[in-house]
Structure formats: structure tokens, C-alpha cells
Structure 1
Amino acid sequence: MIASIPSIPSVITHCAELDQFVERVQDAEWIAVDTEFMRDSTYYAKLCLVQIASADCSACIDVLKLDDHSRLLELLQSPQQIKIFHSARQDIEVLHSEYDLIPQPVFDSQIAASILGLDEQISYAELVSQILDVHLAKTESRTDWSRRPLTSAQINYALDDVRHLGPLYLHLKKQLEDNQRVHWLDEECTGLCNKQQYVVAPEHAWQQVKGVGRLAPEILPITQALAAWRETTAIEKNLPRRWILSDQSILQLAEDKPRSEAHVTMSLRKDSSKSLRYSKVISTLLEQAYKNTHPLHFVDRRLSREQQDLVKRMMKVSRKRSELIGTSASLLANRKSIVSLVLGLESKIMQGWRRQEIGQDLMNMLN
């Protein structure tokens, strides 16, 4: 078993301490990174803590206490140093919204493990247990990371999230090299670090409204207007979308087509009273939306019986292939990507390493 990173339990709250820490780790080949944040009552996650470890030291960087974060950002953006995360997407999203940066280059241990045949959603604790035979406590998993001072239990829990990432990286990297799959992970992490994934476009928010696929095409412009307004308002007020207007209310308003503020209020009451304060604004918005005759196209992902049968056969082929090559079936070709292929839409199955491993075989089944 690879030895765990020796810990130096500490919390950095002053710029001089951060300078000293950065000087100590900036020349390391890699650093392990994790974040703690809160998102219960805001649109944007509130970053509370950034944990970083190298091979010989680790620290919790208290971003709520620090006046200047520039040295931290310098470290996260160093192009020569590998940043190891586990399930990096949310961490990258938070760092992007907080600092407008994407840390690179990234090694995601969850993706690496799934490439090597473990479950695509394997948790950090489970991976540490399986590979390092270390069993992590879960006592602080629901803690409020915005409260100060941090307890020693919170600090140790947070540091545990990076202490073992280095040994995991060394183990997984060797396995990827032995199986000639380093380029698989490179492709996945390159996609993960695509900044466009983290850019909010209010005009496209309607496509994420749950149930929008059942609406008639002629009322989709109404849905677009409501969803775009909700997104913009949620961003401006930094409140969760559902606190502004729920998906169900958007669908209800689009279908009811209320023609007055009173009728808007009646529609809103069918779902929740939280949005009633916006009745007047929504009424004005709808008046403009009703004048929009520009058609919107929503991809209908419903399958015919023949297509459903084909998807099932493709998934069976994919599972057999994943077992043969020893990789996660859902990473290789999940149902969503197979459905996209069957519908003639862009599918990641036909890109990069997946095209070689399974894409062409599935494509042949279409002909």
C-alpha cells in the first residue's frame, strides 16, 4: 500500500501564511485540491474553504478570512502543476463562479477509476477504502462550512479530502499507463475544463425546465421568456431559481396564458405562493412574450418502439464491450449518449477514444 501524505493540520487565515504555504508547494509535481462551499439559499455557491495538499504538507485555506486571494489563484492556475480532484465538476464550477478561473491541468480520480473499471460515480471515501485500505469518517459531511471558528473535527475532515488524493493519483496514474489509457483521461479532463460548460446563458435556460418537452411548440417562446427572466433575476438577487419561479409554475403559466395580473396570480397559486411577489413583472413579461412568433425547436427525444428496441440492443453490446475491456459501462456509453446516436444527434460515443472502442460498432447497428 502507498503511504498516505503526512498531514500538517493547519488553517491559513493570513496572507503571510498563504505566501509561506504557496512557496512550499508551488514547485511540486502535483497538488491535491478540494473545496467546501454552501449553496442552500443562494444561486451561486458560497466558497468557504479550499484544501490543498502536496506530498509533504497540507492546509485548509480559509477564503472567508483572507483579504487577498491572489497567491491562491496563482497556484491554481500554474500550467506546469497537476491539480488532483475527485469528482471535480462542482469544485471547478465553484472556482469559476468565484474567481472566473478554470484550474488546469486536472487529474480527476473519479474519472480515472471509472476508466479502470470501477463505478462511474464511486465516492472518494469508497475509492480510498478500496485502493489505500483507509476508512474515512463521515461525521462532518453535513456541516455548515460558513460558520467560524472551524472545529478541529471540521479541519481534520476537510484535510482528509486531500490527504489521500496524492497516493490515489500515483496508483491510478500507473494503472492508466499500464493499460495505455492515459489519453482517455486526458480527453475527459479536457472536456471537464471547457469553460463554456460553466457559462450561464439565460436565453437557453428554457431547455433545462423539467417537463418542457410536453409543451406545444407554439408556447415554447413563452417558456423561453419566463425561464430567461427567472435565470437573470436569480443571478441578480443571488437566490435559488426555485425561489423566484418553479419549473412547474413556468409550465403552468405557459399553458394557461394568463392575460392579466390577476390571472397570473391565480396560475402561480396552483403551485406555490413564493412567486406571487413577481405577479406584476411576470404579467408585463408575458404581454411581450405573446407577441413573439419566432419558433423555437425543442429536440423530441421520445423513441419509437423500434428505436427503443435498438437502444436496448446497443446498451447490451456496450455492457459486453465494457466487461471485455475492463471499464465502466456508463462511462463508455450511457443511455443518454446512445439515444442521441439513435436519434441522429451529436453523441460523445462518436468522439475520441469512445469512437474507437465502441462508437463505430454501434454506428454499424444503425445501418
Structure 2
Amino acid sequence: MPSVTDAPLEQAPHEPVIVIDTREGYLDAVRRIAEGEGPVAVDAERASGFRYSQRAYLIQIYRRGAGVFLFDPPAIGRFDELAEVIRDEEWVLHAASQDLACLREVGLEPTRLFDTELGARLAGLPRVGLGTVVEDLLGIHLAKEHSAADWSTRPLPQSWLVYAALDVELLVDLRDRMAELLASSDKTDIAEQEFHAVLTRETKPARTDPWRRLSGLHAVRGSRGLAVARELWNARDEYAREVDTAPGRLLPDASITAVARTLPRTKRDLASLKEFTGRASRSQLDRWWEAVERGLTTEDLPKQRVPGDTLPPPRAWADRNPEADRRLKAARSLVAGLAEQRELPVENLLTPEALRRVAWTPPMPLELESLRAALAEHGARPWQIDATAQTILDAFVEADQTPSSDDEPAS
């Protein structure tokens, strides 16, 4: 895969960057962006790990002929005027799926997309982080020291703003170089299908019992402990939303599961539990104790396990569904070989989930068209189906004709 072999150039010192946080400044920027030309580079910075919400606290825009603009979304509100100007242009983002939700929240909705992170995967680049891809394809070293910063901070330090500006200033050049790579490997159509899939991907429905995602919950035994964990999770989530703080900063998951395992009988017992930590563990002790009491006394006890459509882990298939296990093993190695031939990560050729689904419950009758339809039902794109369906069918047919060791006659 082509890459820059010379030592990367250090990014030149950047002129001071300002944040646009007034309506007047925003409308002037929209006018200037409209006068630019070509694709529009877009990025957003959130405060994940610091705030409860996933809103954008900074939005960066770059367009050739216009320059770079940094906007303060909490101060500006809706971005409808900007959306009108750039809606029909191609938007360039890196790892677009991470930012689309917070952009849509302020009215920014692309109709055409070029995702440089996804493009890097499809082009077969070994590493796909923005800094690495910029260095490999443009020969420029891009520092990434503020990626995990608290972007809700005000005022934002100048070094952070320069970092944010650089995130978009090189994206259009990167897009052009990556488009060349994709074209040279005959992957332009594949990339367009994948970019469209990112834009049209449905939002996952909210989980029925989100508290069941608590880290360490597997160590909680009994329905009463689960009830305490559920009530503490709900109390933490309500308070985190109220103060717009990441829940884990107020009360770590480990604290909740420690309480659910020990089931303290008094508020004093709760306060003395050494694993009960977090910035709000003592300041909101009454809140937490009320939650514990609800869990200790409720008659609405959760089940230890809940039914769902989650498949068992593949390591358990040999015992639970040996026919599916043979199908999966046969197809998985062949699909991996196809991915290697095409210089693609195997998960981009076909998601492991889609392959597991059709291996566990293959369509009947097992024919090429029925298998293609099943793969499409599980989210595979046309190019992925064209590339893998016949190979998977052949693997399934052969696996179904291969007797298991239990079927073989004794010698």
C-alpha cells in the first residue's frame, strides 16, 4: 500500500484561532462558507466521559476558498442556515458515525458523505486513526494530544483550538488522496455503498434494561442483588442527567456492583463500604441509600437472565448446535481468505454478526438466492453479498455433508 517514506513534515505553527459564539459571527461565517468551493470538511468535539449528554461542544468546518471556522454550538443553537448552504455538498468526516448524531441534533444532516476513516479501512491501510492516516498519505505529522479533552470547558485553551482546526484543515486533501487509492484498487463503488450505509443506518432502539450493561454485574448473585443494582443505576442516571455529568464520574460501576453484592442493611453500612467511591458517593448518600432501600424491599424482582435474540458465543456452539458450529467454522476461514485477497479487514467484507446469524439459522431451502436475501436482512450491502454469498453457500453445503464425530461408526 502506498505511503510516504520520507520523514513526515511537522505541522507549521498555526495562527491564533477564535471560536464563533455569536449569531452575527455565525451568519457571517455561513456567508463565507457559501462562497467557498468543493467538499466541506466537518468535525465535532464532545465531552464524553465528562458530561452526561453527547451534544457537540465545538463544531469545526473547513472549505477551500473559505477557510476554517470553529463554532460554539451551546451559544449558537440551531445551524439551519449553514445546513441550507452545505446540504447538497459532499461532507468529509473521519469516523463519521461518531459525530453524525450530535451534528443532527443541531440541524446538520449530510446527504453525501466521504468518511476518511472508513475509506482507510477499505483501502487496506494498517492503521486508520486520523493522525496516522494523515502522516501516511500526506506526509504531515498531526499531533493528537487533546482527543480526550473536556470540550465543555470555557474558555477553550488556544492549544485545543489549534488542534481542533487542524482536524479539519487537512481533511479535504486527505479525501482526495484516499479517493485516488480507492480508485486504483477498484474500490470506489464499494466505498460509496459503505458511505451511504453510514448515512442511512438506523438508530439502535433503546435497551429495555440498560442497567444490565453495568460492568461487573455478572458477579452479582440473586434477584435481590440485581434489584439493588437496578435501583442504584436508575438513581445515578437520573442525577447524572440532572447535573449533566458522566454517570461513572459520580458513582463508578464498581461501586454499584459492590453494593449489590454485599447488600448493606443500613446507611452507615453503605457509607463504610470501602468500594463505595466516586465524587458523589458521600455528598449524595441519602439519594443512594433511598435507592438501596427500594431495591431491598421491592417485589418487582428482575430475572437473573432475560431472553433475547443474542446468539450464544461461538465457543459454545459445538455443544449447543454442532451443525451450526461446522457451518460457521467452514465459512469463517473462507471469508477470511476472501478478505485477505481483497486487502480488506474481514469485518468490513462481512460483519461477524451477519455470518453467525446465517450459520446459526440458515435459510431454507438453502439456495443462493435465499442466502443472499438472508444476508441482506442482516445488513449486508450488495457488494458484500456479491463477494461472499457463493463462498458461504459452498461452505455450508460441504459442512452439512460432513458427519460429526458422533455420527461416525465406532471402529
8 Å contact from structure 2 (residues 121, 344) kept in 1 = yes
- The Cα of 1:293 is off from its aligned counterpart by 6.7
One-letter code aligned to 1:99: V
2:384 aligns to what SS in structure 1? Answer: helix
One-letter code aligned to 1:83: W
Q: Matches of 1:141 and 1:81 in 2, distance apart?
A: 27
Partner of 2:276: 272
8 Å contact from structure 2 (residues 46, 56) kept in 1 = yes
Q: 1:100 to 1:163 in 2, by over 3 A?
A: closer
Partner of 1:107: 114
Partner of 2:407: none
8 Å contact from structure 2 (residues 41, 169) kept in 1 = yes
Partner of 1:80: 88
- The Cα of 1:23 is off from its aligned counterpart by 1.6
Partner of 1:301: 312
- Map of 1:1-367 to 2, 5 A cutoff? 10-11=17-18, 12-26=20-34, 28-45=37-54, 47-63=56-72, 67-70=75-78, 72-76=79-83, 78-96=86-104, 99=106, 102-119=109-126, 122-138=128-144, 140-141=146-147, 145=151, 146-148=153-155, 150-151=157-158, 153-176=159-182, 179-191=186-198, 194=201, 196-197=203-204, 201=206, 203-212=208-217, 222=227, 227-252=233-258, 258=263, 260-262=265-267, 265=270, 269=273, 271-274=275-278, 275=281, 277=285, 278-288=288-298, 290-291=300-301, 296-298=306-308, 299=310, 301-302=312-313, 303-304=315-316, 306=318, 314-333=331-350, 335=352, 338-339=355-356, 341-344=358-361, 351-352=380-381, 353-359=383-389, 361-362=391-392, 364-366=394-396, 367=400
Q: Matches of 1:230 and 1:342 in 2, distance apart?
A: 40
Moved more, 160-169 or 347-356: 347-356
Superposed CA RMSD in Å reads 4.2
Q: Matches of 1:343 and 1:211 in 2, distance apart?
A: 29
Q: Matches of 1:229 and 1:175 in 2, distance apart?
A: 51
Runs (5+) with no aligned partner, structure 1: none
Q: Matches of 1:75 and 1:289 in 2, distance apart?
A: 53
Q: Matches of 1:68 and 1:35 in 2, distance apart?
A: 14
Q: 1:364 to 1:219 in 2, by over 3 A?
A: farther
8 Å contact from structure 1 (residues 118, 328) kept in 2 = no
- The Cα of 1:284 is off from its aligned counterpart by 1.4
1:196-235, Cα deviation, whole Å (9 max, x unpaired): 24x7x36431343335567679679736555455434432
- The Cα of 1:93 is off from its aligned counterpart by 3.8
TM-score normalised by the chain length of structure 1: 0.75
Q: 1:131 to 1:239 in 2, by over 3 A?
A: same
Q: Matches of 2:301 and 2:277 in 1, distance apart?
A: 27
1:219-258, Cα deviation, whole Å (9 max, x unpaired): 79736555455434432332222245443444455555x4
Q: Calculate percent identity across the aligned residue pairs.
A: 19
8 Å contact from structure 2 (residues 59, 70) kept in 1 = yes
One-letter code aligned to 1:86: H
Alignment length, in residue pairs?
Answer: 354
- The Cα of 1:169 is off from its aligned counterpart by 1.8
Q: Matches of 1:180 and 1:41 in 2, distance apart?
A: 39
2:92 aligns to what SS in structure 1? Answer: strand
1:263-321, Cα deviation, whole Å (9 max, x unpaired): 9828x926323346212223214533645679732536333263778756544323321
2:99 aligns to what SS in structure 1? Answer: helix
1:317 aligns to what SS in structure 2? Answer: helix
- The Cα of 1:51 is off from its aligned counterpart by 1.4
- The Cα of 1:149 is off from its aligned counterpart by 5.9
Q: 1:350 to 1:14 in 2, by over 3 A?
A: closer
8 Å contact from structure 1 (residues 8, 58) kept in 2 = no
- The Cα of 1:361 is off from its aligned counterpart by 2.9
1:74 aligns to what SS in structure 2? Answer: helix
Runs (5+) with no aligned partner, structure 2: 4-10, 363-373, 401-411
Who wins on radius of gyration, i.e. which is larger? Answer: 2
- The Cα of 1:107 is off from its aligned counterpart by 2.0
One-letter code aligned to 1:283: E
Q: Matches of 1:322 and 1:81 in 2, distance apart?
A: 32
1:59 aligns to what SS in structure 2? Answer: strand
- The Cα of 1:170 is off from its aligned counterpart by 2.4
TM-score normalised by the chain length of structure 2: 0.69
